[in-house]
Structure 1
């Protein structure tokens, strides 16, 4: 089915074969391709990382969707326990002393998505959203294993604590203070995730650990 060109005619700024020749396209793409990019331009609003993992996608997804595994592969999330709200868990974020983090896991097996909806200090508005997806490496890289993508979006609350009165102390650092380090920090955590999954898979060990309780919705 061909698009109705009249529907698009009044929309400015479109780059399509109808209004751009191959030479113009190549020149425009060259303008947008640079040997180096400022960190803030790449990771200022969105932070996306990705990694290949030598572990079958079904096992990789099963591991990610069980939220108690956050205590294994993240740098600082520990001691999760259920709250009175079904599906909502609370634990410690040792990145900052005496900081509680609330988390709900939303997973879709068909799409391979695992989203962690989190927030510091309170569980009523889970605005720190960690979007992850498991892809079969066979379909995207032509090899066995998994590809994991992980995206964060810079919610306005990263720039200002919406509930300063709930902080354990006035001088506690805020999670948004670390935004410029998200790429580096998440890359280290993705390295943890890769190491755990590959070690267990290659050694014939159960990939998923058995928790006392599981952070799973």
Structure 2
């Protein structure tokens, strides 16, 4: 797995790859799409199972408070998501802009809303424009002692099918030549988000197991 020597995952030894981690740097979209298709159940209509909501969840063998702190930093998206990269602060406080490498020249805007008491982390996002961050990723970190009676964390992640997934209300902001809209990918969300949750799990568990802080040094600068 390729690591950036100054940024995302730079604290991990590149000689010890993370099994199962799928990022745009390791798997092109042409490679990853068939993998996601294999994970989509074709026996039932997708709308019957994931109509208005898409939820994935999993156990992470890492301390919940440290996991929450890592996820609360918007830049963590550069590490565990498949394609969100190059995040940088905008002139608006709390608002970040990066690139969604699913498509060339697609800007993604992100504002992270985190509640330390409830350990919720909500990523308010949108492609192409920052004025209406309608694409919201709702995450919660739960102390596994409470729900599974063992150390570690449980992560719950839900997306709601906002009407804008079906129709882009901001056509004037679309970069020239891009035909795909994020809503075209809704049927792949469950499989794609499971891949990203698996990435999150592998990265957090490797850091915890090897004594590294879950929030790496490059994110503390």
- TM class by shorter chain equals 0.7 to 0.9
Residue of structure 1 aligned with 2:181, choices 174, 178, 181: 174
1:133 aligns with 2:140: yes
Q: How does 1:1-217 map onto structure 2 within 5 Å?
A: 38-211=45-218
User: Within 2, Cα distance between the matches of 1:198 and 1:106?
Assistant: 24
1:39 Cα deviation after fit: 2.6
1:15-38 deviation line (CA, Å, top 9, x unaligned) = xxxxxxxxxxxxxxxxxxxxx854
Instruction: Tell whether the 8 Å contact from 2:63 to 2:152 is kept in structure 1 after alignment.
Output: yes
User: Within 2, Cα distance between the matches of 1:53 and 1:207?
Assistant: 12
- Partner of 1:198, secondary structure, is helix
Across the aligned residues of Structure 1 and Structure 2, the Cα RMSD in angstroms comes to 1.4
1:209 Cα deviation after fit: 1.4
- Of structures 1 and 2, the larger Rg is shown by 1
User: Within 1, Cα distance between the matches of 2:66 and 2:91?
Assistant: 30
1:52-104 deviation line (CA, Å, top 9, x unaligned) = 00001011101110110100000000001111111001000001110000000
Alignment: residue pair count: 179
1:110-131 deviation line (CA, Å, top 9, x unaligned) = 0010000000000010000000
1:186-205 deviation line (CA, Å, top 9, x unaligned) = 00000000000000001111
Q: Taking structure 2 as the reference length, what is the TM-score of the superposition? A: 0.78
Instruction: Tell whether the 8 Å contact from 1:201 to 1:207 is kept in structure 2 after alignment.
Output: yes
Instruction: Tell whether the 8 Å contact from 1:159 to 1:177 is kept in structure 2 after alignment.
Output: yes
Instruction: Tell whether the 8 Å contact from 1:103 to 1:126 is kept in structure 2 after alignment.
Output: yes
